[in-house]
Each structure stands twice: as C-alpha cells, then as structure tokens.
Amino acid sequence: MRAVDGIMECLKAEGVDAVFGIPGGASIPTYDALYDAGIRNILCRHEQGAGHAAEGYAKVSGKPGVALATSGPGATNLVTTLADAKLDSIPIVAITGQVGTPVIGTDAFQETPIVEVCRTVTKHHYLVTDVKDVARVFREAFHVATTGRKGPVLIDMPKDVQQAQIVPDYDAPMNLPGYKVNHRRARPEQIKQVALAYSLMSNFTAFLAVDSSRRTEGDQGEPFARLLPEHALLRLRSGEQLSRISKRNTCGGADQHRLAALSRSSLTRFQDAGKLLAESCLSERGSHSSSAGR
C-alpha cells in the first residue's frame, strides 16, 4: 500500500468526507489517492480560500476541516488561514506537498520550509520524512487539532514519502510529550471549582439574554452591547478574544476600580483555571467590602 492510500484510510477513520484545496506537482500523489478513496474534493480558486473554506466547514459541521496545497507558493498561501484558525481556535488540518527528501534544503524548485514558516501560527506541525510515521502523525494531528484549545495543525509531506510503500498501522500509539491526551473535557473537580467561584460572587448577579444581532462589542459593535458590561462586576467569556474589546472594566460610582480580565490565552497557562477564577472572585469580594467600609 502506498503512503497516500494509508493517509486516505486515516482521513476516513477521522470522519473526513470532504477536503478543500488545489492540486499541484508535489501533491499529485495525494490527489490521485483522494479520487480513488471516494473522498469529496472541493476545488477552490486559491489556497487561502481553501483554508478559509475548511474553517467554515469546521464551524458548521463540528468536525475538523482539511485543506490541501502543493509545495512552495501553494503552501505559503495557507499561512493567513492557519494564523486565523489559531487565533479563532478552529480545528483544521492542513496537508501540504513538499519536494522529495533528498533535495530538501537545496533550494529545489518550489521548495519552501513551510514548517518553519508556520511554526508560530500553528498549534502543531510535522515534516514527515519517515514513511513509518505516517499513521501516527495523522492520528496525532487530528487529536491535537480537536482537543484542548482547538487549532490548526500542519502536515508537510515530501513527494517521495507520499509514494513510498507502507504496512498500514491505524492503531499506532501517539507520542505527544507534555500534551495531556486523556483530558479532553473538564474534570468534575474543575466544574465544582467554577461553581464555587460563582457562589462566591457578591451583590446581585443576573443572566441577560441578548438578541444575537445586538450583542457584538468592540470597535464595530452595538452601543447597547458595549453599555451592559460597564455595569457588570464580573464577566465570564468563552471562545472570545479580547484584542479589540476593552480589557479595563470599571464600575460606576465613587469607588471605581479595575476588574481583572482573564483572556482565553491567559487561562491556558494555568492547569487549575477554576481555582484561579475563585481566587479572582474572592479578591473582588474583598475589594467591595473594603470600599463599603470606607
């Protein structure tokens, strides 16, 4: 079996039924196998468009999107998509063709070190130089893309590796040092800590349902949506960046004070986010008590 045929079996095992991309010289073997495997190929007009289409597919279907591109300019056209997917936590797997392993590093035709280019805009990345690693790499790639804070994973496949013969091993064990492969969801104790944090909130707490067309904040948001947080003591955010939204929230009145805003990226640095949130609530409660005493 060719490595590309094994790749198709890996994609099927992950529930992939469609991919987005543009064929090229370094990715032709993969496209040949794609046709034989019966996986739908959605031909795009630009690799960046293919990547964004994969993002949209992931958002709508709840499954990771897959984008295909050839080496060189085809691969570099995916960079914007990968950066966007990382910032927005969208699970996509980008598969790029690469020149043959014997000529990597020789400035071969349409050779680009895409793994190095995308090192900071992907959640994880692979350059597969040993055909024995194919099954493991694809299993890891989909796992990393869809667990924890979701994001893009890049797999760079040299053309000779795509065409090499392999013995399929779809149960190849993953090797991800430092990545908690067994913690896909919040543990019960973490949920209890968040519940404790909520119970410690002082004063009046209310949940307000706002129509989706009126809840956008930020530079382009609605005045109504921007006004509400100014009167909130604590705001819980999920799946949202705070880049163009004020990180300094102040309460009206004589005892104005700044509330700590924990962004999504900050929470990922702590293994025990629930405890951190509880401590933040306790701190806020103490500051209100001190203000009231004065």
Residue type (1 letter), 53: A
Where is the domain boundary, 130, 163, 196? 163
Burial 99-124 (b: 16+ CB within 10 A, else e): bebeeeeeebebbbebbebbeebbbb
Over residues 163-208, the pLDDT tens digits come to 999 887 777 888 787 776 555 566 778 777 777 776 655 444 444 4
Instruction: Give the dihedral sign, CA 91/97/101/106.
Output: negative
Residue 246 located in a structural domain: yes
Structure tokens belonging to residue 122? 């992907």
Q: Confidence class of residue 252 from pLDDT cuts 50, 70 and 90?
A: very low
Q: Can you tell me the mean pLDDT for 43-69?
A: 96
> Exposed/middle/buried for 225, CB within 10 Å: 0-12, 13-18, 19+?
middle
Structure tokens belonging to residue 117? 């280019």
Instruction: Kindly write down the DSSP assignment for every residue of 266-289, as one continuous string.
Output: HHTT-S-HHHHHHHHHHHHHHHHH
- Strand order of the sheet with strand 40-43? 40-43, 18-21, 65-69, 92-98, 152-158, 124-127
Residue 19 located in a structural domain: yes
Query: Is the pLDDT assigned to residue 20 strictly greater than 60?
Result: yes
Q: What percent of the chain has pLDDT over 90?
A: 53
Residue 169 located in a structural domain: no
**Domain shared by 156 and 198, yes or no:** no
Separation of alpha carbons 62 and 45, rounded Å: 24
The per-residue pLDDT for 175 is 79
Q: Can you tell me the mean pLDDT for 227-236?
A: 65
**Domain shared by 151 and 198, yes or no:** no
Structurally, the chain folds into a number of domains equal to 2
**Domain shared by 210 and 88, yes or no:** no
**Domain shared by 14 and 153, yes or no:** yes
Where is the domain boundary, 163, 180, 204? 163
Residue 168 located in a structural domain: no
**Domain shared by 204 and 278, yes or no:** yes
Residue 183 located in a structural domain: no
Residue 178 located in a structural domain: no
Query: Is the pLDDT assigned to residue 59 strictly greater than 90?
Result: yes
**Parent domain of 242:** 188-293
Q: Can you tell me the mean pLDDT for 219-241?
A: 63
Over residues 98-156, the pLDDT tens digits come to 999 999 999 899 999 999 999 999 999 999 999 999 999 999 999 999 998 899 999 99
**Domain shared by 126 and 224, yes or no:** no
**Domain shared by 138 and 214, yes or no:** no
Residue 74 located in a structural domain: yes
* Unique residue bearing structure tokens 């904040």: 217
The pTM (predicted TM-score) of the whole model is 0.69
Query: Is the pLDDT assigned to residue 282 strictly greater than 90?
Result: no
Alpha-helix residue ranges (DSSP H) falling in 164-272: 188-199, 223-227, 264-267
Over residues 130-143, the pLDDT tens digits come to 999 999 999 999 99
**Domain shared by 110 and 215, yes or no:** no
**Domain shared by 101 and 63, yes or no:** yes
